[in-house]
């Protein structure tokens, strides 16, 4: 039975894309191809890290979100706000102001996602104590979890089976409202996301059948609405009864930043951010070059969630603001009072189901066919130039060889092979042009070469 495709939130606006290949070369899973002059994303390979979006010079990549008006389908509308949202605002804007405006926009409740960190940390340490295999890897970053599934399938069993704060907080708040007599159908929980990967984790969760979150709101979208609402107040503060939420302590504030989890785990623990750094380290783990690490905190974005593609401010300034905030509330420790009665309930809901590998290296479900195709890839590499120019629309010669074996490209897609075939009269020039047009589109070759010829003759 074929595996269900990953949902991914990153999309390409073909009206803007002109096939520059910037995205193709930065993609850590080789999920992007150029076809008909436009970037094309392979759904099963994309991990929604957002590197393509950062690299695009014309902003052709965008991230889908739920329609904001979807919140009004529910009588009780809960906003789960990660701490990095607070870090986007200037230090003179208080949480109370931010949350008050969010209520004016339509939310009935606002809850900071990291309030459940202490319970999650306890569950993670329990997992660490139970498993002998090392290192165990945090499940906090959904882009990293998917990266391991597709690029490092041998390591999936080392992902710690504990849900991240987004899920834990949604489970807690829903249960708390239900205990107040509110029907589940009246409760809508919406996460304010700093990245595409967390949208994907809501739409098609890994290690769970269904997400406890009803929808996602992009952080850049909500930030602009909230900031405009604060400015429109002209410095006047409006307070609601629910604005006095407990402040987060330093542990909770730092949890979603780099080195947020590692200091609170046991043994030798390392924190690594930025997806290419993560890949380099996972390769060392997979090759058993590093064997004495107990726990890995891995984050796809530089500066972790503060560097997500949907944050609006400078990631270093956001981290500085949050570090100062952590110092300001350094005396706050432990689980919030409202959450304490739900500790045992939450601990029972935190375990993830086994995470399945989904290797992009596997060329066929049938092992015999897969081995045969791998041999074909090796044979093709003897003919391809090995310079990884990308002119074929694939990110590397090896990627092209795999595409050929999977019948998604032809050997003649390589411009070097084309020239060789033309030289030996195995390929007509007009046919070569048609091959190039299939990759790069007809418009790419519609240039007026007469002026260039005239210019060269005059030199």
Task: Provide the 8-state DSSP code for 113.
Answer: G
- DSSP-assigned beta bridge partners for residue 62: 11
**CATH assignment of 68-118+162-262+299-349, among 1.10.10, 3.40.50, 2.30.140, 3.30.160:** 3.40.50
Give the per-residue pLDDT at 456: 53
- State residue 41 phi and psi, 5-degree precision: -100, 130
CB 310 within 8 A of CB 248: no
Distance CA 247, CA 81 (A): 13
Distance CA 22, CA 24 (A): 6
Distance CA 368, CA 391 (A): 32
Distance CA 100, CA 31 (A): 41
Maximum CA pair distance of the chain? 85
Task: Provide the 8-state DSSP code for 217.
Answer: E
Domain span(s) for CATH 3.40.50 in the chain? 68-118+162-262+299-349
Parallel/antiparallel/unpaired status of strands 61-63 and 10-12: antiparallel
Distance CA 128, CA 162 (A): 11
Residue 289: both structure tokens together: 């070059």
Residues in the chain predicted with pLDDT less than 50, given as ranges, are: 1-2, 239-243, 452
Distance CA 297, CA 287 (A): 19
Range 131-147 burial, b when 16+ CB lie within 10 A, else e: eeebbbbbbbbbbbbbb
Of all residues in the chain, what percent carry a pLDDT higher than 70? Answer: 92
Helix segments in 69-182, DSSP class H: 83-86, 95-105, 117-130, 142-151, 165-179
| C-alpha separations of 44 from 41, 147, 221, 377, 392 in Å | 9, 11, 27, 20, 21
The CATH class, in words, for 10-63 is alpha beta
Give the per-residue pLDDT at 73: 95
If one counts every other C-beta atom within 10 angstroms of the C-beta of residue 297, the result is 24
Distance CA 212, CA 187 (A): 11
Give the per-residue pLDDT at 245: 65
Residue 406: both structure tokens together: 């999977």
pLDDT per position as a tens digit, 196-231: 999 988 988 888 888 999 999 999 999 999 999 998
Domain span(s) for CATH 3.30.70.20 in the chain? 10-63
């Amino acid at each position: 039975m074929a595996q269900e495709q990953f949902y991914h939130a990153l999309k390409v606006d073909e009206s803007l894309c002109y096939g520059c290949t910037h995205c193709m070369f930065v993609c850590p899973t080789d999920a992007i191809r150029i076809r008909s002059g436009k970037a094309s994303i392979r759904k099963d390979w994309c991990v929604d890290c957002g590197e393509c979006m950062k690299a695009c010079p014309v902003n052709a990549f965008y991230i889908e979100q739920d329609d904001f008006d979807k919140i009004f389908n529910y009588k009780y509308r809960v906003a789960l706000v990660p701490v990095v949202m607070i870090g986007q605002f200037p230090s003179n804007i208080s949480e109370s102001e931010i949350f008050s405006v969010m209520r004016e926009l339509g939310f009935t409740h606002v809850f900071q996602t990291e309030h459940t960190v202490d319970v999650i940390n306890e569950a993670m340490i329990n997992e660490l104590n139970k498993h002998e295999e090392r290192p165990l890897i945090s499940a906090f970053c959904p882009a990293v979890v998917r990266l391991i599934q597709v690029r490092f399938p041998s390591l999936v069993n080392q992902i710690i089976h504990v849900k991240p704060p987004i899920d834990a907080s949604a489970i807690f708040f829903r249960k708390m409202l239900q205990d107040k007599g509110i029907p589940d159908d009246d409760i809508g929980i919406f996460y304010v996301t700093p990245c595409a990967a967390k949208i994907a984790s809501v739409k098609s969760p890994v290690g769970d059948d269904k997400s406890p979150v009803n929808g996602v709101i992009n952080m850049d979208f909500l930030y602009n609405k909230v900031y405009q609402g604060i400015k429109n107040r002209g410095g006047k503060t409006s307070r609601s009864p629910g604005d006095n939420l407990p402040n987060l302590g330093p542990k909770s504030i730092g949890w979603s930043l780099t080195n947020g989890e590692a200091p609170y785990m046991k043994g030798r623990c390392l924190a690594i951010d930025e997806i290419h750094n993560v890949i380099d380290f996972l390769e060392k783990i997979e090759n058993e070059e590093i064997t004495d690490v107990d726990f890995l905190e891995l984050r796809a974005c530089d500066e972790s969630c503060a560097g997500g593609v949907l944050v609006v401010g400078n990631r270093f300034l956001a981290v500085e603001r949050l570090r100062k905030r952590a110092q300001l509330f350094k005396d706050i420790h432990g689980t919030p009072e409202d959450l304490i009665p739900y500790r045992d309930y939450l601990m029972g809901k935190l375990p993830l189901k086994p995470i399945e590998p989904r290797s992009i290296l596997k060329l066929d479900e049938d092992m015999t066919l897969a081995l045969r195709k791998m041999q074909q890839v090796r044979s093709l590499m003897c003919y391809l130039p090995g310079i990884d120019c990308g002119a074929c629309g694939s990110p590397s010669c090896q990627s092209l060889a795999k595409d050929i074996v999977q019948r998604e490209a032809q050997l003649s897609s390589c411009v070097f092979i084309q020239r060789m075939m033309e030289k030996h009269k195995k390929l007509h020039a007009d046919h070569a042009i048609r091959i190039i047009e299939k990759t790069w589109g007809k418009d790419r070759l519609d240039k007026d070469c007469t002026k260039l010829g005239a210019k060269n003759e005059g030199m």
